[in-house]
Amino acid sequence: MEIIYILWLRQLKKYWRSKARIIGSLGQPLLFMLAFGFGFGPIYAKAGGGNYLEFLVPGVIAMSILFTATFSGLEIIWDRQFGFLKEMLVAPVSRLKIMFGRSLGGATVAVIQGVVVFIISLFVGFKVLNWWLIPVALVAMFLIAFLFTLFGTGIASLMKDVQGFQLIVNFLIMPLFFLSGTFFPLTGLPQALKIVVQANPLSYGVDALRGALVGLSSFGFLMDFTVLAIVVIILLGVTSYLFSRIEA
């Protein structure tokens, strides 16, 4: 358990030391909230959808967690290039513990990022409907974060090139983000698009956050958390296998 704590703490320290990283990672969520939230707000209201900012913010929080969590896998490639990964792998410690500690740290950083975006959204004009469901929202944030940290770690375990990792990750997570129901309701979609959205695990994370924060849910909490938990368990097994075969 000690190695898990050390790696978790290392991830947190690296996050707090990088002020530019913290500020830079808030630019995109803020842009989406201001440009989309207020830009499309009147159109959404005229269509009878209500307050678009309140609909949008849970998806933007999930987006912030998604990008932060997935790109945490990039540190594996950096550690491999600078030799730190080799030192960890030759240590008499289970690779499963190393992978779990790193993933837990990356997920914690992603949740912090999501909480910061949530706080900023309150100043922009977002209103929480059910404050007593905030713990449910935090659980949803953690599941999203842990899921996509495992996802990023699994991809990084297969690669040695930073540019290649960035290209592949962007190619994969952009469709996941745009087809998660962040920008549009899931009701009334064409059948083909509806199937794609329902097959996207991020859709259930966004839905859980939206249900907890503003009371809007398409699948229900039981379905949301069941799907997220199942995908986390599957990815935990797959990522553990890939990381166990990694070569420094």
pLDDT tens digits along 14-58:
665 665 566 666 778 888 888 877 777 777 777 666 788 888 899
- Token digits of residue 200: 């996207």
Residue ranges per structural domain of the chain: 2-244
Report how far apart, in Å, the C-alpha atoms of 219 and of each of 20, 181, 209 are: 37, 12, 12
pLDDT tens digits along 167-187:
888 888 888 888 888 888 877
- What are the residues whose beta carbons fall under 8 Å from the beta carbon of 75, sequence distance 6 or more? 11, 14, 102, 106, 156
**Which pTM value belongs to this model?**
0.88
* Nearest one of 172, 76, 63 to 110, comparing CA atoms: 63
pLDDT tens digits along 192-226:
888 898 999 999 999 999 999 998 888 989 999 99
Compute the average pLDDT of residues 124-148: 92
- What are the residues whose beta carbons fall under 8 Å from the beta carbon of 180, sequence distance 6 or more? 59, 62, 197, 200, 202, 203, 205, 206
